[in-house]
Amino acid sequence: MQKVEHIGIAVKSLSVSIPLFEKLLHAACYKTEEVGSEKVNTAFFRSGETKIELLESTDPEGVIARFIEKKGEGLHHIAFEVKDIYAEIKRLKEEGFVLLNETPKEGADNKLVCFLHPKHTNGVLIELCMEKK
């Protein structure tokens, strides 16, 4: 795995949290994007080499809405950049990790992504992401 590409934070409302993070990071949100497959609106910020991704649910039954219901707003996942997501999936499966999606799917920000089951990663949801060519 390469660097931490981004950190995902679940929020109730982007319209509240975008100005908050703009103040916090002293940087403008540079992109918002709806990801239909995940039922989320996302907003991105740069903090050095790493991005911050805010996630707002577009559906009361969506994964982010359910996460906030259970745990409240806050840290949702850590995303690592990988060079070859298919090779990394194979390696992690061989190591006994469980993937939530074994076939990479379209994520925000022009990425192919997959998630590891947090049960096997000390409760931390881990995302692998690879830039689409």
- Residues of this chain that bind Zn ion (CB under 5 A): 8, 53, 79, 127
Instruction: Identify the H or E element spanning 66.
Output: helix 63-71
Name the residue nearer to Zn ion (CB basis): 53 or 81.
53
Please state the closest distance from residue 116 (CB atom) to Zn ion, in A.
12
Name the residue nearer to Zn ion (CB basis): 47 or 96.
47
Backbone angles phi, psi at 34, to 5 degrees: -90, 135
Please state the closest distance from residue 60 (CB atom) to Zn ion, in A.
21
Q: Would you say 97 and 90 are in contact if contact means Cβ atoms under 8 Å apart?
A: no
Q: Residue of minimal CB distance from Zn ion?
A: 8
Name the residue nearer to Zn ion (CB basis): 78 or 98.
78
Please state the closest distance from residue 16 (CB atom) to Zn ion, in A.
20
CB atoms within 10 A of CB 34: 12
Q: Would you say 19 and 29 are in contact if contact means Cβ atoms under 8 Å apart?
A: no
